[in-house]
Amino acid sequence: MIYNESGTGERLDKWLSENVDGISRSLAVSLIEAGECTINGAKVAKNYRLKIGDTVELTIPDAKPADILPEEIPLDIRYEDSDLLIVNKPRGMVVHPACGNLSGTLVNALMYHCGDSLSGINGEIRPGIVHRIDKNTSGLLLVAKNDFAHTSLSGQLKSRSVKREYMAVVSGNVKENGTVDAPLGRHKIRRKEMAVNGLNPRNAVTHYEVVKHYDGATLLRINLETGRTHQIRVHMAYIGNSVLGDEVYGTGKPKWLEGQCLHAGKLGFIHPRTEEYMEIESELPEYFEKLLGQLRESL
């Protein structure tokens, strides 16, 4: 039970996602619609606007067994213990099942590898998934094996204490280090895409550092302060330096380029149980190194 003293007018689903560890906006909506969240003892709609003094009571049901077929898909695991694992996802692999991608996903592979040892906080479609990266982005992902670990890790993400470092090759000459501070929301027309100042925008901050200049391209080291959907890709396109190979927000993928040049190369966080800081790194994938070789030859 939570007593609201933070102010008035905020939507209930948004407030839950920002104030309860392990609760995403979509999960908050599902719980409200299922009657698992009440205000002053009464069921309300997801768009209910909170008032000072409201008593919010939330019940999180036990996780349902995931109706996902385990698949024996090789995983590049960089760390694993009884609470969590870190997997190095290849470019082209979808993180969780959805319409059009019901098999061959990272979750299918995790179900085979971990069996029942995955957290249930994010529901039956996304067991263990603490955060995501795009299908065509490669690199490191945190996976929670139990709700204790999931709550801790998602709390660290919300407090912006998790280090998430990416490497990217972008178009054009980025002259100096910088920060993009521009809110992101759903595109007003193309709802599968995100846009700066789109629908219901949320603050989004991306820091970038110039590593090397090439002819018509720049290698960047990027750190996320927030973690919005497609954040790096949209922010880089917004400043006129789209990620090479980005077919949605960029200029498309040239035939000679094998993939989108964005790699989640470093994760740093506090281990939920030991409370020690951990940092895991992943080398650039082969297609990324191949592109850098071609760019060096063009100098």
Answer for the pair 57, 3: CB distance below 8 angstroms, yes or no. Answer: no
Q: Show the tokens assigned to 253.
A: 């993928």
If you ran DSSP here, which 8-state letter would residue 290 be given? H
Active site residue 116: no
Distance between CA atoms of residues 170 and 221, nearest Å: 11
81, 134, 147, 246: which one is catalytic? 134
Using CA atoms, how far residue 59 sits from 27, 34, 193, in Å, is: 12, 10, 32
Answer for the pair 86, 162: CB distance below 8 angstroms, yes or no. Answer: no
The contacts of residue 66 (CB under 8 Å, 6+ apart) are 107, 111, 118, 124, 125, 127
Distance between CA atoms of residues 53 and 276, nearest Å: 38
The contacts of residue 234 (CB under 8 Å, 6+ apart) are 184, 194, 195, 196, 249
The secondary structure element, H or E, covering residue 147 is helix 147-158
Active site residues: 134
